[in-house]
Amino acid sequence: MIRAGIIGGAGYTAGELVRLLVNHPAAEVAWIHSESQAGKAVAEHHPGLVGDTELVFTDQVDLEGIDVLFLCSAHGKSRAFWAEHPCPAGLKVIDLAQDFRDESDGYVYGLPELNRNRIAGADKVANPGCFATAIQLSLLPLAKAGLLEGDIHVQAVTGSTGAGVKPSPTTHFSWRDNNLSAYKVLTHQHLAEIRRNLGVGDNLHFVPVRGGFPRGIFAVSELACSRSLEEVTALYQAFYADAPFTFVLPVPVDLKQVVNTNKCLISLELVDGRLVVTAVIDNLLKGASGQAVENLNLLFSLPETAGLRLKALAF
């Protein structure tokens, strides 16, 4: 069994990661670190894990006794962690923060549909951002074919769990429910990794929106397109032919099809020379912990779908 350690175990992504790993056929959780919850039963803090694990949060770090380390702390804390802890030879690392998404310090950007072979040969993987995952999967086939023409406009609505477990005014139920609001307009931090990997520079414009629901991302991209819908559809289907979690559908997609899964569903429409690409993912799974487990599988030469056959909450 692959022994895993988790840093930053109190957050939403860590809770989902534990849920996946305790049911994974080839992995087990050795320890879960949390300074704020040390000594408390993991299932007490993450009540959805009652009956699934008897682990207790620890404030100790033992990197020698594990095969893979997941970093689930807030952005900026991964670099601080490595400043205090030497990395043992042979330890695999999957970082869910944004610290190494620029592929510094030997990290490989962990979007399997883009870097599957590089991930399989890596020691350290930087998991993509949730918005970045949805938007890149929306546009990668066009980018690889040189068809990202002119300005690209993206709007994406995210669930409240994307803001993390720590309460804030914009995650409070009475404010968030039955409400929408834009934020970080044209300046969101995920733009850097999106623009770099798609090779679009400042031509991609992104407006993120807070949605009145807990989980999911609904991303709509719109751009000029000189090809027919049939040509574009064939391009997308060929690009994702070997991707076990990304599907191109001939009908509109919705969030309930992907919530609680590691899937990305994509639909395409062409209107008067403008292509509209809609993509939906679960921000905590394909946008975070599910993709981290997908990367774990690639790192250890396991089937990419191991531990990730999850049913959508479709009703």
Residue 315 included in any domain = no
**Which residue in 35, 26, 1 sits closest to 14, CA to CA?**
35
Residue 165 has pLDDT above 90, yes or no: no
**Do residues 70 and 102 both lie within one domain?**
yes
pLDDT value at residue 171: 86
Mean pLDDT of 307-315: 91
Q: Do 40 and 170 belong to one domain?
A: no
H or E segment at 266? Answer: strand 264-271
Q: What is the pLDDT of residue 111?
A: 98
Of 265, 225, 268, whose CA–CA distance to 247 is shortest? 265
Please determine, for residue 314, whether its predicted confidence score (pLDDT) is greater than 90.
no
Residue at 54 is within a domain? yes
Could you read off the pLDDT of 185-196 as tens digits, one per residue?
999 999 999 999
169 and 99 both lie in a single domain: no
Q: Could you tell me if 244 and 293 are in contact, meaning their C-beta atoms sit under 8 angstroms apart?
A: no
Task: Report yes or no: 134 and 287 within 8 Å, Cβ to Cβ.
Answer: yes
Question: Measuring CA to CA, which residue among 2, 55, 11 is closest to residue 307?
Answer: 2
Structural domain span for residue 158: 130-281
Model pLDDT, residue 255 = 97
In a domain, 200, yes or no: yes
Residue 135 pLDDT > 90, yes or no? yes
Q: Are 16 and 288 in contact (CB under 8 A)?
A: yes
Is 257 inside a domain boundary? yes
CATH number at residue 178: 3.30.360.10
One domain, residues 84 and 159:
no
Mean pLDDT of 274-296: 98
DSSP character string of 23-90? T-TTEEEEEEE-TTTTTSBHHHHSGGGTTT---B-BS---STT-SEEEE-S-TTHHHHHHHHSPPPTT
Average pLDDT score, the chain: 96
Query: Based on the number of CB atoms within 10 Å of its own CB, is 146 exposed (0-12), middle (13-18) or buried (19 or more)?
Result: exposed
Helix, strand, or coil (residue 296): helix
| Active site amino acids | 130
Verify that 249 and 136 share a domain, yes or no.
yes
What is the CATH classification number for the domain harbouring 62?
3.40.50.720
Would 309 be classed as within a structural domain? no
Is 45 part of a structural domain of the chain? Answer: yes
Q: Is the pLDDT of residue 46 over 90?
A: yes
Residue 144: inside a domain, yes or no? yes
The percent of residues in the chain predicted with pLDDT above 70, rounded, is 100
295 and 215 share one domain: no
| All residues at 6 or more sequence positions from 26 whose CB lies less than 8 Å from its CB, including other chains | 1, 2, 300, 302, 306, 307
Within 10 Å of residue 23's Cβ, how many Cβ atoms? 13
Residue 79: the pLDDT is 96
263 and 184 fall within a common domain: yes
Using CA atoms, how far residue 115 sits from 128, 132, 170, in Å, is 11, 14, 35
Same domain for 191 and 104:
no
pLDDT of residue 239: 98
Same domain, yes or no: 187 and 258: yes
Confidence of residue 233 (pLDDT cuts 50, 70, 90): very high
Residues 276 and 156 in one domain: yes
Structure confidence at residue 315 as a pLDDT band (50, 70, 90):
confident
Decide if pLDDT at 256 tops 90.
Answer: yes
Overall domain count for the chain: 2
Are residues 94 and 139 part of one domain? no
Are 38 and 58 contacting, i.e. CB atoms less than 8 angstroms apart? yes
Checking if the pLDDT of 166 tops 90, the result is no
Looking at the structure, do residues 153 and 88 belong to the same domain, yes or no? no
Output the pLDDT for position 172.
Answer: 86
Q: Give the CA distances from residue 205 to residues 155, 219, 292, in Å, rounded to whole numbers and listed in that order.
A: 9, 13, 27
pLDDT at 313 over 90: no
Flag whether pLDDT at 85 surpasses 90: yes
- Does 231 reside within a domain? yes
- The candidate with the shortest Cα–Cα distance to 277, out of 290, 286, 264, is 264
